[in-house]
Amino acid sequence: MRSTKMITIAVLVLAFAGTVSAQKKPVFSSSYTNLSTCKELGGQEGTDPAYVCKGPGGYRLRIYSSATMTHITAEKGDESTPVANIGFDWAQNKARAEWRLANGKPFAVILRIPKYDGRTDDEPGVGKKIGEELFVSGIGDWEFINGSVDAKTPNANVKARQIADKGYQP
């Protein structure tokens, strides 16, 4: 009888421990990719080159241009997630991407990008640059994470990370 009680107690303790560990909060961290170190992929005749930048967890960023925009996508294997579309005046050589990680696995990218004034459909270009924002974009299974913070906001980087982390759902 006593050994049956001990086994029952041990099973209950192990079940409780499993439940507690399953509810454990993820550990958030950041990893950075300096976009000036990306590998250039030669463009076809008459086109701008594309760039590929290594990221954490098997991800990479692909940067390419079309018309008046620069496009950035996060890629892993056959999976591709649009991250941002930016006007041509964006200074790739001065930029870096912040990857948000949960337990060491990437789930979002934060980029500092220019903000433009509104343009009507019949005006060329993206408009006049009026500031910068930290743009938050989920990747992979977290594509639904999307937000931005005006770069002039106090603690803008912290707030951008909070947007990403709050959207993470294991």
Q: Which residues of the chain have pLDDT under 50?
A: 5-21
pLDDT for 97 equals 94
- pLDDT tens sequence across 23-38: 689 999 999 999 888 8
Task: Give the predicted TM-score (pTM) of the model.
Answer: 0.79
Domain ranges of the chain: 26-167
**CA 142 distance to own-chain centroid:** 9
Write the single-letter amino acid at 27: V
